[in-house]
Amino acid sequence: MTASTTFGCDVANVVYERGQRQAFCGLAGIVWLHRKIQDAFFLVVGSRTCAHLLQSAAGVMIFAEPRFATAILQERDLAGMADCNQELDRVVAEVLGRRPDIKSLFLVGSCPSEVIKLDLNKAAERLSAQYQGRVQVFDYSGSGLDTTFTQGEDTCLLALVPHLPALPATERNLLILGTLPDVVEDQFTRLFTELGINTVHFLPPRRIEALPPVGAGTTLLLAQPFLGETARALQKRGATLLTAPYPFGVEGTLGWLRAATEAWGIAAERLDAVTAAPIARAQQALSRQRALLSGKRITFLPDSQLEIPLARFLARECGMELVEVATPFLERQLMAPELALLPAGVRLTEGQDLEAQLERLRTDRPDLTVCGLGLANPLEAEGLRTKWSIELVFSPVHGFDQAADLAELFARPLVRGALLQV
Amino acid sequence: MQLTLWSYEGPPHIGAMRIVTSMTGVHLVLHAPQGDTYADLLFTMIERRSQRPPVSYTSFQARELGGDTAELVKRTIQETFDRFRPQLILIGESCTAELIQDQPGALAQGMELPIPVLALELPAYTRKENWGASETFYQLVRGLLKSRVPAPGTERELRHSRARPLANLLGPTALGFRCRDDVVEITRLLDSIGVGVNVVAPLGASPQDVLRLPEADFNVCLYPEIADQTCDWLRRSFGQPTIKTVPIGIGAIHDFIAEIGRVAGIDVGTTVAPSSARMAWYSRSVDSTYLTGKRVFIFGDATHAVAAARMATEELGLMVVGLGTYAREFAREVREAAKRYGVEPLITDDYLEVEARVAEAHPELVLGTQMERHIAKRLGVPCAVISAPAHIQDFPARYAPQMGFEGANVIFDTWVHPLMMGLEEHLITMFREDFEFHEGAAPSHLGGMATRPALTAAVVPEEAAAEETPATTWAMEAEQELKKIPFFVRGKARRNTERFAQERGITTITVETLYDAKAHFGR
């Protein structure tokens, strides 16, 4: 960024588009959620298409035993509803018989199950009662009708909120919301401990048995931007939502930690002292990536709602020029601190009309395009360098010590492009 | 409802996508909710295609369901036509759209576009991917050619002054298992016997190419799962005979050539294998002796499974201990083959059932799909992929056909590779207590970690417990002796001994019983 750049984006300038969408549905969230929550099983109630999506997304991992499956609706299930509930009970019994180690079961709604109005909420209540003391049963929707990609995590965590234990009135805790890789969770826990915040909980937890408590003493910090529904539900249970940028890069992580320390009444000097070393380390590592990224033009196609925070990081800390930043869904309140940091006048798009967007992309010809795997190779073949976006959800990218790794994810395709002589 | 951990086939609209992605000048408009575009990945990632599949999605969401989804369909069709200018548009629905019943096909017909528009019926809750592909290909060929079908009784024009008979190669598609290279190999093979290729379809064909299909003297049905129905219609409508032998394996190649000779009326008696055909010699060379009688479990689509069973027995000297397919439409072929090899056919699309049958059969090698790789890993059995569904590593950069003589070379290498080499196998049997070179170690040429414990820990005891009547127990020395049997046949030895003991009312299995059983069953 040049010194003359001004910051702060007005949401009024966001262009809303609708049309063909090239995005995953919320079922894709299962691919990382089932690795994070180790005692959970995800049972999609849907069609062969849903099963096919899941195995296409997760199929390269060869599991000895996957912790997700699909109850595929058959012709006779579509005929009558009562039958469907019996069928579901039978399938659940089969799953739990095969996996006696499972402590929680998520019934995941899909487009077909929603169109036929199969009441998975009732089914979850019924099955919870039936397996009481052994397995907890939850339900949420991961359908494409309702959710785009990472929103599947939002609806999943939302289903957990009513089951969180109450935080005793005299206690406070810091609740970090959003799936983080275990290594990042541990880093943050260490940082908060050094800062003097000792009661830190994470949602989702690694095991459903260890659901974090929530109450009036809960301070809520979002690690992921796509969790609006869950955040609101936690607020209804008394939690106070902190306003902060998301913990990507040095600036985002520091702002994120600061929100917590301010709420906790911890002196700014303490924050500076604790973060000085990690920041210095991150800056040093980032400088190498900045040299590769600075001045390069980047476009984000809509995918995960991570686009705006990542664009902010790449613009302000890596010196990239933002051409278009598109997001599947713009949660204005949750994104306000990020929008304030974006360079003014950036072209922001909410939603998607794929063909029109690709035409703009071909006119813009940015140095790097962040997009899904359905588009990446075809765009590469047109001579555009791409960074496939799903990786950003699967890699440790939060926090100081991952700042350079995050930048490297964007630098790598450019380095590779320069390297290859064939 | 059917509990599904892994599904062998996608829904039928994926089959339709495979047909249009294979072709040029054809576009599919799919009425489908947001998210169903995941299927594009199969083509751009697994097959690494450099272009987006020619598929436009309506991408409806919950808010559209209250409104006019039919209007959305019409707008998508119009925009698709305006932007891509295809020569033919196919209209289909995914499983969710089938439930809301917008009749997109009828809507499209009413729009009076200046190109042919074909509506597809793809029953997503009863049919699957291969059926969808077969149906789409058939509808497309029939739709383009039905106005040209000669009147009944018209004499078929004989091949006249042309020097070479011409064949259509039907069935290869995008996402098909090794279709790309099979087409090259078979084109070469046909050329070597003096047969030219008229049209390859759907892979690489345009609607104009489809219009030229009747110019061929006969059709080669390379992949019956995709092209059987179409070949049958072409035979009935245009009198073109179908070559039914699928040329996977040396024996099948010779049968294939002979069948073409008969159908095309050409002399193929002098056809010799090219010098690059090495499979037969490799299999005869003494190094391969240790392959004799190795127990192999085969599962896949019917075409590849049946071909693999023949190769395994006749060309590699293996013993088929299980044969099955997930393709119900072609169950008959598999049942017939299973009868030849004296095994119970397995016709199922239930992954869990396949897993149970593999565990029960104690094979030393599993030949299957991507899914059987999961099973084999769990059971610690060597495995090679012979059929779709396959993952990215089975769409290789190198030339890797399954058909023709080079295909046989490729198959020999692929199947033998995961097995432990002969010398290694001998040494492990001779010296049981070697600390590095023990039975749990993976074959040294594969590196990596031992996978064996999964079988001994999870499957064998469970299964042994189920089969053992409480009256039969193993004496400690017999149990010790059993451990000296090479691990890849130990499961079988345990089972045989227990059966032997039960049949004779022996309650305690001793070392003697073990060897009595061994002598009784032989290997």
List of residues 6+ apart from A19 with CB closer than 8 A? A352, A353, A354, A355, A356, B59
Please say whether the beta carbons of A105 and A136 come within 8 A. Answer: yes
Q: What is the pLDDT of residues B274-317, one digit of tens each?
A: 889 999 999 999 999 989 999 999 999 999 999 999 999 999 99
Closest partner residue to A77 (CB to CB) among B1, B6, B124 is B1
Do A120 and A45 meet the contact criterion of CB atoms below 8 Å apart?
Answer: yes
Mutate to test the interface with B, among A377, A380, A422 (most CBs of B within 10 A): A377
Domain B425-521 -> CATH class: mainly alpha
Q: What was the pLDDT predicted at B459?
A: 37
Shared domain for A265 and A282, answered yes or no, is: no
Chain-centre distance for alpha carbon B148: 34
* B chain contacts of residue A145, beta-carbon cutoff 8 Å: 33-34, 60-62, 65, 96
Non-local (6+) Cβ contacts of B312 within 8 A are B296, B298, B318, B319, B320, B367, B415
- What residues of chain B lie within 8 A of the CB of A112, using their CB? 95-96, 99
Cβ <8 Å between B59 and A73: no
CATH code matching the domain that covers B12-128, chosen among 3.40.50.300, 3.40.50.1980, 3.40.630.10, 3.30.930.10: 3.40.50.1980
**DSSP structural state of residue B177:** T
Chain A residue closest in CA terms to B392: A60
* B10 vs A27, A52, A355: nearest CB: A52
ipTM value > 0.90: yes
Which sign does the torsion angle of CA A79, A83, A88, A91 carry? negative
What is the reported pLDDT for B349? 93
Nearest CA of chain B to the CA of A282: how many Å? 34
Question: How large is the average pLDDT for residues A156-162?
Answer: 97
Considering only residues A131 and B442, tell me which one the structure prediction assigns the higher pLDDT.
Answer: A131
Q: Do B60 and A148 touch (CB under 8 A)?
A: no
**A154 part of a folded domain:** no
SS3 A144: coil
- Cβ contact A71–B95 (<8 Å): no
Residues A78, A116 within the same domain: yes
Using one digit for the tens of pLDDT, what is the confidence trace for A3-53?
567 888 877 789 999 999 999 999 999 999 998 999 999 999 999 999 999
Give φ, ψ of A399 to 5 degrees.
90, 170
Q: Is residue A156 part of a domain?
A: no
Distance CA B70, CA B81 (A): 17
Q: Which of A56, A101, A114, A354 to mutate to test the interface with B (most CBs of B within 10 A)?
A: A56
* Partner residue opposite A74 with nearest CB, options B2, B37, B49: B2
Domain identity same for A321 and A303:
yes
Q: DSSP string spanning B345-403?
A: EEE---HHHHHHHHHHH--SEEEE-HHHHHHHHHHT--EEE-SSS--GGGS-SS---SS
Q: What's B44's DSSP letter?
A: I
CB distance B467 to B362 below 8 Å: no
CATH topology of domain B166-264: Rossmann fold (3.40.50)
With 0-12 / 13-18 / 19 or more C-beta atoms within 10 angstroms meaning exposed / middle / buried, residue A412 is middle
Identify the DSSP state of B30. E
| pLDDT level of residue B458 (50, 70, 90 thresholds) | very low
B337, pLDDT greater than 90: yes
Express each pLDDT in A313-322 by its tens digit. 999 999 999 9
Contact B377, A62 (CB under 8 A): yes
Tell me how many helices (H) and strands (E) chain B has.
23, 16
Q: What pLDDT is stored for residue B487 in this prediction?
A: 72
Identical fold, B12-128 and B166-264: yes
How far, in Å, CA of B351 to CA of B359, rounded?
Answer: 12
Pairing of strands B2-4, A68-72: antiparallel
Q: What residues of chain B, 64 to 103, have a C-beta less than 8 Å from chain A?
A: 65, 76, 79, 83, 94-96, 99-100
Q: Are B345 and B335 in contact, with CB atoms under 8 Å apart?
A: yes
pLDDT at B462: 39
Mean pLDDT of the B15-34 span: 97
Same domain, A294 and A401: yes
pLDDT band at A114 (very low <50, low <70, confident <90, very high): very high
Looking at residue A215, its pLDDT comes to 96
- The three-state secondary structure class of A323 is strand
Highest mean pLDDT among A1-15, A79-93, B358-372, B422-436: B358-372
- The whole-angstrom separation of Cα B107 and Cα B133 is 23
**Domain B279-419 classified CATH 3.40.630.40?**
no
Would you say A318 is a known binding-site residue?
A: no
Does residue A206 form part of some domain? yes
> CA of B300, closest CA in chain A: separation in Å?
17
The whole-number pLDDT of residue B345 equals 97
| pLDDT, position A64 | 58
Tokens of A43: 């049972």
Residues of B with Cβ-Cβ distance to A19 under 8 angstroms:
59
Would you kindly state where each structural domain of chain B is located, as residue ranges? 12-128, 166-264, 279-419, 425-521
Q: What number of other Cβ atoms are within 10 A of residue A102's Cβ?
A: 18
Parent domain of A184 = 173-270
Q: Which residues of B touch A65 (CB under 8 A)?
A: 378
Per-residue pLDDT at B312: 98
CA distance B11 to B120: 14
Closest chain B C-alpha to A375 CA, distance in angstroms: 7
The β-bridge partners of B91 are: B29, B119
Distance from CA of A190 to the nearest CA of B (A): 34
Residue of A17, A54, A55, A105 to mutate for B, most B C-beta atoms under 10 A? A55
B14 contacts in chain A (CB < 8 Å): 52
Residues of B in contact with A375 (CB under 8 A): 40, 44, 52
Segment among B7-21, B375-389, B430-444 with least mean pLDDT: B430-444
Q: Do A75 and B38 touch (CB under 8 A)?
A: no
What are the structure tokens assigned to A388, written together?
Answer: 């496939």
Q: What is the pLDDT of residue B460?
A: 37
| A259/A376 same-domain check | no
Check CB contact under 8 Å for A69 and B3: yes
A205 & A102 share domain = no
CA distance readout (Å), B226 to A275, B219, B483: 62, 13, 47
Give the number of beta-carbon pairs within 8 Å between A and B. Answer: 181
Tell me the residues of chain B between 324 and 363 that have a Cβ less than 8 Å away from chain A. Answer: 352
Record: contact A48-B128, CB cut-off 8 A: yes
Closest chain B CA to residue A117: B99
- Of A250, A270, A290, the last residue of a domain is A270
Instruction: Read off the tokens for B116.
Output: 């042919």
CB B349 within 8 A of CB B2: no
How much is the pLDDT for B450? 43
Please indicate whether, in this complex, the C-beta atoms of A145 and B65 are within 8 angstroms of each other. yes
Q: How many domains does chain A have?
A: 3
Sheet containing strand A218-222, strands side by side: A200-203, A173-177, A218-222, A240-241
CB contact under 8 A, B36 and A148: no
Instruction: Tell me the C-alpha distance between B36 and A47, whole Å.
Output: 12
A237 and A299 co-located in one domain? no
Please answer whether residues A140 and A155 qualify as being in contact, where contact means their C-beta atoms are separated by less than 8 angstroms: yes
Chain A residue closest in CA terms to B15: A49
A156 is in an annotated binding site: no
> What's the average model confidence in pLDDT over B209-235?
97
- Cross-chain residue pair B57–A377, CB shorter than 8 Å: no
B419 Cα to chain A: minimum distance (Å): 20
| pLDDT, position B470 | 55
Q: Are residues A401 and A284 in the same domain?
A: yes
CB atoms B124 and A49 under 8 Å: yes
Q: How confident is the model at residue B454 (pLDDT cuts 50, 70, 90)?
A: very low
Distance from CA of A111 to the nearest CA of B (A): 6
Both A298 and A217 in one domain: the answer is no
CB contact under 8 A, A374 and B52: yes
Looking at per-residue confidence, does A131 or A60 come out higher?
A: A131
C-alpha span between B306 and B178 (Å, rounded): 17
Within 8 A of B374 by CB-CB distance, chain A residues are 62-64
Contact (Cβ atoms closer than 8 angstroms) between residue B50 and residue A384: no
Average pLDDT over residues B236-247: 96
A83 vs A100: CA distance, rounded Å: 26
Spatial CB neighbours of B335, under 8 Å, sequence gap ≥ 6: B345, B347
- For residues A252 and A288, membership in a common domain is answered with no
Q: What is the pLDDT of residue B465?
A: 42
* Structural element, H or E, at residue A90: helix A81-98
Residue of A30, A43, A47, A52 best to disrupt the B interface, most CBs of B under 10 A: A52
CA distance B68 to A139: 29
Q: What is the pLDDT of residues B39-64, one digit of tens each?
A: 999 999 999 999 999 999 999 999 88
Q: pTM for the complete prediction?
A: 0.91
The residue-averaged pLDDT of B23-51 equals 95
Which pLDDT belongs to residue A137? 97
Let me know whether A117 and A43 are in one domain. Answer: yes
Buried b (16+ CB within 10 A) or exposed e, B117-148: bbbbebbbbebbbbbbbbbbbbbbbbbbbeee
Q: Which two tokens stand for residue B347?
A: 């016709």
Residue A6 belongs to some domain of the structure: no
pLDDT (tens digit, 9 = 90+) per residue, B373-421?
889 888 888 999 999 999 899 999 999 999 999 999 999 999 999 887 6
Asked if A370 and A405 sit in the same domain, the reply is yes
**Chain A interface disruption, residue of B5, B75, B383, B392, most A CBs within 10 A:** B5
Question: Is residue B120 within 8 Å of B105, Cβ to Cβ?
Answer: yes
Give the CB-side neighbour count of residue B409, counting CA atoms within 13 A.
14
Query: Chain A partners of B37 at a C-beta cutoff of 8 Å?
Result: 20-23, 374
A50 is in an annotated binding site: yes
Which helix H or strand E contains A268, and what residues bound it?
Answer: helix A268-293
Query: Contacts of residue A143 in chain B, CB cutoff 8 Å?
Result: 33, 35, 62
Active site residue B287: yes
pLDDT at A256: 98
**Cβ <8 Å between A49 and B10:** yes
B223 to chain A nearest CA, in Å? 22
Q: Is the pLDDT of residue B457 over 50?
A: no
Within an 8 Å CB–CB cutoff, is residue B36 touching chain A? yes
